[in-house]
């Protein structure tokens, strides 16, 4: 799976399953990117592109943006499914 944005060089999430550090020093730019990603995770338009095997996939279907980790409902079906998919992607898939 890859996550990219047209304004940014490189991948935010890459196929090699490496951790990517994303440093944004400008509060305005940070707010812009987080807001855009949040909107796309809620089925709105944006410039982030999530793909798997060079095929674009729906960010809203495969992501959950957590702004306040203390407000997360642990038994939320979407979070459980995303956790299982992430676990499979990181540890089981070749």
Q: What is the pTM of this model?
A: 0.65
C-alpha–C-alpha distance, residues 33 and 5, integer Å: 9
pLDDT tens digits for 13-61? Answer: 777 766 677 788 999 999 999 899 999 999 999 899 989 888 999 988 8
b/e map 57-82, b = 16+ CB within 10 Å: eebeebbeeeeeeeeeeeeeeeeeee
Contacts of 57 by beta carbon, 8 Å cutoff, 6+ apart? 1, 50, 51
């Amino acid at each position: 799976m890859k996550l990219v944005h047209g304004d940014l060089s490189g991948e935010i999430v890459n196929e090699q399953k490496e951790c990517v550090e994303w440093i944004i020093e400008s509060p305005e730019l940070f707010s812009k990117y987080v807001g855009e990603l949040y909107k796309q995770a809620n089925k709105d338009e944006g410039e982030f592109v999530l793909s798997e095997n060079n095929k674009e996939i729906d960010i809203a279907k495969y992501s959950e943006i957590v702004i306040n980790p203390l407000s997360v409902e642990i038994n939320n079906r979407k979070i459980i499914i995303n956790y299982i998919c992430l676990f499979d992607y990181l540890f089981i898939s070749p």
